A = this chain, B = another copy of it.
Amino acid sequence: MTLPKKAVCYFGDGKADASATDRDVIGGKGANLAEMTRIGLPVPSGFTISTEICSAYYQNGRSFPDGLENRVHMALRRVERSMGASFGDISNPLLLSVRSGARVSMPGMMDTVLNLGLNDATVQGIIERTQNPRFAYDSYRRFVQMYGDVVLGLRPASSHESDPFEELLDLAKRDSGVEFDHELTALDLKALVARFKDVIRERTGKPFPEDPYRQLWGAIGAVFGSWMNTRAIAYRRLNGIPGDWGTGVNVQAMVFGNMGDDCGTGVAFTRDPATGEKKFYGEFLINAQGEDVVAGTRTPLPIDKMKRVMPKVYKQLTRIQGVLEKHYRDVQDIEFTIQRNKLWMLQTRAAKRTGKSAVRIAVDMVEERLIQKEEALSRVTAEQIEQFLSPGFDPNAKRNAVESGQVLGKGLPAGPGAASGRLAFSAEEAERLAREKEPVILARIETSPEDIHGMAVAVGILTARGGMTSHAALVARQMGKVCVAGWGSVEINYKSRKMVVGGRSYKEGDWISLDGTTGEVIQGHLETRPSEVVRVIRGKSKAKGKKSEYGAFSRIMQWADEVRHLGVRANADQPDQAKLAIAFGAEGVGLCRTEHMFFGEKRIEAMREMILADDSETRRKALARVLPIQRKDFVGLFRAMSGRPVTIRTLDPPLHEFLPKTEKEIRALAADMGVKPAHLLSRVGSLSEQNPMLGHRGCRLGISHPEITEMQARAIFEAACDVKREGKKVLPEIMIPLVSHPHELREQERVVRRVADEVFKRRKMTVPYFVGTMIELPRAALTANEIAEYAEFFSFGTNDLTQTTLGISRDDSSKFLPHYITHEIFRREPFATLDQKGVGELMRIGIERGRAARPDIEIGICGEHGGDPPTVQFCHDIGIDYVSCSPFRIPIARLAAAHAELRERETLSARKARRASANGRPRNRVRNIRPPSASSKKIGAKAKVTRKAVKKTYARG
């Protein structure tokens, strides 16, 4: 293999082989180091080995490609020249850091080695030059430990095993009678290095490598190797990162924050990552290495304290953070080190942020004219909106807790929100509790990447050590988990599985509550309550102006609505739900499940009488009692939706769902109803089904008992007339469920239209309405052209369509689906995120054939997938007209729809750009890519226009 041009990219002294645009090739960290160098910021020199080399390394059976050694050594020479020190030189040794850096940040997932280049000879050079033997041996001790852990594989596989180096360290402290690492003397540390090396020889059978070049190549290999460690693989799976991207390796001259009190290290954000407030925000530690901050082993100082301690450096740092934010036009998360009063920038990257801050920052930056609305929109993720809307504690419950002394103390508010759950002290226990459907609070002294799987299932995370930028805090914010970090007053004991605070002891399984916004830890279970936005929307709180949470949220949503083409409707059965849906931005009701209306008290009685009727006459009588109730429901719904379309599905579930199941319940009901138990038992028996999901339900009910559909249609049209008479507009869309054959729809459509004609004639008025169908069986999608003959609209019922297409009963899937997900047989839970290749393919077919037969047919989706962002994207792509989801997910769907539109624009302009630049170049690369379904999109667009025209006509009339 000839090495690509960017296989090894040097940066230093204001020059760099790469820039921020090379992130895909050399990884994010390297690209940003190069970029910072280019714009003149103080960055220790170094070089980046590209991600392509990582891929080559794996393709080569884990060996380095030819020519790499040469290129690395050439780059190393430039670093030596720039830093004025030589790698392996005894008198003036250059020390290196070796870190991973992938295309996207995978915090803590992969390996780092610092102080590389130290050995028994070079350590002497450091001592000579620094005149600080303690610093030199401390660095050496850290290096050997890290190298042993990372490169030589001595790191314990789980948190239950002990780390041999940590044990020796603890032993040394005990021997010396000191409490903290930094109290150990140079001699202690020197002895410790020797003992570390003994352990290495014992465990690996080989001596610690003294040769700096062997150290370097070992570390590079270890970084590549860490790409495939189980943590990294799990993280990629969780975040949908392809395994073949690979990681870059950043080799950089070491600078030291731990040479004395004129040194330090820190992490900062250009704005508050929790609230989004525009203020320089961060933490630093005097006389410390960077890892001390990130790992959270010492609790750092707030950044503004630096103003007093190191005023010059602070001034320079605040200037630089401003430059970086302007340059990147986004909030930056920066790492820096001060070595003997000189500031070095070690990293910059877009800051992770909470939902609240993401919204605030996006809106603020538009006001500051830093970014455009579209960019602001694309920076707020659906997950962040979800988090933004998630609940806090009920204020009364909280006040009671405070007043009754249940607040145990206060840590750092590292992940906002409120959570209440059962204590777990290990990731394993957290998973066990989660499997039992218990909410879990994971409490750890500090967290490490090994805890990720426990954090993923927890509702909240509590740590005893570590700051706002500790591992726990970073990961929690990213996952949208509530987190209280660095709660120093607690003692957590893993062995006894207890935590003790102020003399009170809490064991695994006990209830604990975390307020991630204040940092409070509260004993017992506390009720949570809706977010400010939800309270405003529900009318339980007033909006507090443009700068309030609600204000910022509203603007983001308004921009989303300006951008998106996809409609968003709500699944709602009751007037109050409908009102909430409108407040959340719904443009209509996409699914009103009429059966939910039957479960009220008197209603279920009439339903049961109807079901037990022996002939259609008695059935009609019972239905006549249901009619006024149902009509009232629809009146409420139509009023609430005032003219927006309301899609009403006729009765769907099998009739036995309205009857009790056990013999005892049946006997009780029979007594209540005054019928013979035997009669009721036999009726229940005759209605019971082997596979109710595939049984006598949906339109099959309406076809065998047309009187049910008649009653429902009558209730709908009478309600529509009533509301129209009030002067309001009404637009009912009657939706027939479980259609597999056009004749089924034809039968039911006839009934609906006949009843409509009857009602309109009697009321001497008409109301516009549509009749359509669910597409929720594979056959319906396949014969959509024939079904469209009778359907004015389609709505994909992706819940049932998933069940039938995959042949999986959702109710029974828990027996094998979790195994499928953990073993990557299915990449995603198909009932949460739409299976695009199977179910999605049927949707494509259904849309194409449906529109071929009826170009102006309106097509929606009303399965629970309608509020899932990747599914919303897919719906946009295949030309669906609207998604319908639960009211609470509507803002997420609106944003996801805007994102889909923005992504389409991006793809289009990228394609244009590619076309413009592709004169004469071979185009093999794109040949195998599936062409976008341009035709259906086009038809979709056209349909939308036609449809709009229809509605406009109606609106006028």
User: Which residues of B have CB within 8 Å of A815?
Assistant: 695-696, 704
A816 touches B694 (CB 8 A): no
Complex: how many Å from CA A695 to CA B693?
Answer: 11
Q: Digit string of A775-815 for contact with B (CB within 8 Å is 1, else 0)?
A: 01111001100100000000000001001111111011001
Within 8 A of B (CB), among A678-720: 689-696, 700, 703-704
Interface membership of A825, Cβ < 8 A: yes
Residue of B nearest to A844 (CB): B782
Partner of A694, one of B689, B691, B779: B691
Interface of A is mostly: helix
A806 touches B824 (CB 8 A): no
Interface membership of A345, Cβ < 8 A: no
A807 touches B825 (CB 8 A): no
Contacts A812-B695, A819-B703 given; does A782 touch B842 at CB 8 Å: yes
Interface membership of A837, Cβ < 8 A: yes
User: Which residues of B have CB within 8 Å of A809?
Assistant: 689-691, 693-695
Of A19-27, A740-748, A877-885, the segment with at least 4 beta carbons within 8 Å of chain B is A740-748
Interface membership of A738, Cβ < 8 A: yes
A744 touches B691 (CB 8 A): no
Complex: how many Å from CA A691 to CA B952?
Answer: 45
A690 touches B693 (CB 8 A): yes
Q: Digit string of A725-752 for contact with B (CB within 8 Å is 1, else 0)?
A: 0000000000000101101100100000
Partner of A696, one of B691, B744, B812: B812
Interface membership of A532, Cβ < 8 A: no
B807 touches A800 (CB 8 A): yes
Residue of B nearest to A824 (CB): B743
A807 touches B826 (CB 8 A): no
Q: Digit string of A809-847 for contact with B (CB within 8 Å is 1, else 0)?
A: 101100110011001111000000001011101100000
* Minimum Cβ distance to chain B for residue A657 (Å): 12
B694 touches A803 (CB 8 A): yes
Complex: how many Å from CA A370 to CA B823?
Answer: 68
User: Which residues of B have CB within 8 Å of A824?
Assistant: 743
Residue of B nearest to A819 (CB): B704
B779 touches A744 (CB 8 A): no
User: Which residues of B have CB within 8 Å of A835?
Assistant: 779
Contacts A704-B819, A740-B807, A825-B741 given; does A779 touch B838 at CB 8 Å: yes
* Minimum Cβ distance to chain B for residue A684 (Å): 14
Complex: how many Å from CA A835 to CA B786?
Answer: 15
User: Which residues of B have CB within 8 Å of A690?
Assistant: 692-693, 809, 811-812
> Quick one: which of A690, A812, A816, A839 has the most chain B CB within 10 A?
A812
Partner of A743, one of B689, B803, B826, B841: B826
Complex: how many Å from CA A741 to CA B805?
Answer: 11
A816 touches B704 (CB 8 A): yes
A826 touches B777 (CB 8 A): no
User: Which residues of B have CB within 8 Å of A738?
Assistant: 807
User: Which residues of B have CB within 8 Å of A779?
Assistant: 805-807, 835, 837-839
* Minimum Cβ distance to chain B for residue A660 (Å): 17
Complex: how many Å from CA A835 to CA B783?
Answer: 11
B782 touches A816 (CB 8 A): no
User: Which residues of B have CB within 8 Å of A782?
Assistant: 805, 837-838, 841-842
* Minimum Cβ distance to chain B for residue A710 (Å): 17
Contacts A803-B694, A807-B740 given; does A783 touch B837 at CB 8 Å: yes
> Quick one: which of A692, A694, A703 has the most chain B CB within 10 A?
A694
User: Which residues of B have CB within 8 Å of A778?
Assistant: 778, 804-807, 838, 842
Contacts A825-B743, A838-B740 given; does A807 touch B694 at CB 8 Å: yes
User: Which residues of B have CB within 8 Å of A700?
Assistant: 816
A816 touches B741 (CB 8 A): no
User: Which residues of B have CB within 8 Å of A820?
Assistant: 703
> Quick one: which of A776, A808, A841, A842 has the most chain B CB within 10 A?
A808
User: Which residues of B have CB within 8 Å of A691?
Assistant: 691-694, 809, 811-812
* Minimum Cβ distance to chain B for residue A874 (Å): 15
Complex: how many Å from CA A695 to CA B778?
Answer: 18
User: Which residues of B have CB within 8 Å of A689?
Assistant: 809, 811-812
Complex: how many Å from CA A824 to CA B747?
Answer: 11
B841 touches A703 (CB 8 A): no
A777 touches B800 (CB 8 A): no
Residue of B nearest to A777 (CB): B807
* Minimum Cβ distance to chain B for residue A689 (Å): 4
* Minimum Cβ distance to chain B for residue A702 (Å): 11
* Minimum Cβ distance to chain B for residue A806 (Å): 5
Residue of B nearest to A701 (CB): B816
Contacts A703-B816, A812-B689 given; does A747 touch B783 at CB 8 Å: no
Complex: how many Å from CA A826 to CA B800?
Answer: 21
User: Which residues of B have CB within 8 Å of A703?
Assistant: 816, 819-820, 823, 825
Complex: how many Å from CA A377 to CA B825?
Answer: 50
* Minimum Cβ distance to chain B for residue A819 (Å): 6
Complex: how many Å from CA A747 to CA B689?
Answer: 33
User: Which residues of B have CB within 8 Å of A696?
Assistant: 812, 815-816
* Minimum Cβ distance to chain B for residue A94 (Å): 49
Complex: how many Å from CA A42 to CA B387?
Answer: 95
> Quick one: which of A783, A803, A816 has the most chain B CB within 10 A?
A816
Complex: how many Å from CA A743 to CA B838?
Answer: 14
Complex: how many Å from CA A803 to CA B693?
Answer: 11
Residue of B nearest to A814 (CB): B696
Within 8 A of B (CB), among A116-152: none
User: Which residues of B have CB within 8 Å of A838?
Assistant: 740-741, 778-779, 782-783
User: Which residues of B have CB within 8 Å of A692?
Assistant: 690-691, 812
B777 touches A806 (CB 8 A): yes
Residue of B nearest to A693 (CB): B691
* Minimum Cβ distance to chain B for residue A829 (Å): 13
User: Which residues of B have CB within 8 Å of A800?
Assistant: 807
* Minimum Cβ distance to chain B for residue A195 (Å): 42
Complex: how many Å from CA A746 to CA B811?
Answer: 26
Complex: how many Å from CA A815 to CA B700?
Answer: 9
Residue of B nearest to A827 (CB): B743
16 contacts between A and B (CB under 8 A): A689-B812, A690-B812, A693-B809, A694-B804, A694-B807, A700-B816, A703-B819, A703-B825, A741-B838, A743-B825, A743-B826, A747-B823, A778-B806, A782-B805, A783-B841, A804-B807
- The residues of A with any CB-CB pair to B shorter than 8 Å are 689-696, 700, 703-704, 738, 740-741, 743-744, 747, 776-779, 782-783, 786, 800, 803-809, 811-812, 815-816, 819-820, 823-826, 835, 837-839, 841-842
> 10 closest A-B pairs (Cβ-Cβ)?
A779-B838, A694-B809, A691-B809, A690-B811, A695-B812, A777-B807, A778-B778, A743-B825, A696-B815, A691-B691
List 18 additional contacts besides A743-B824, A743-B825, A804-B804; criterion CB under 8 Å. A690-B692, A690-B811, A691-B811, A692-B812, A693-B694, A695-B812, A695-B815, A696-B812, A704-B815, A740-B807, A741-B826, A777-B807, A778-B805, A778-B806, A778-B842, A782-B842, A783-B838, A804-B807
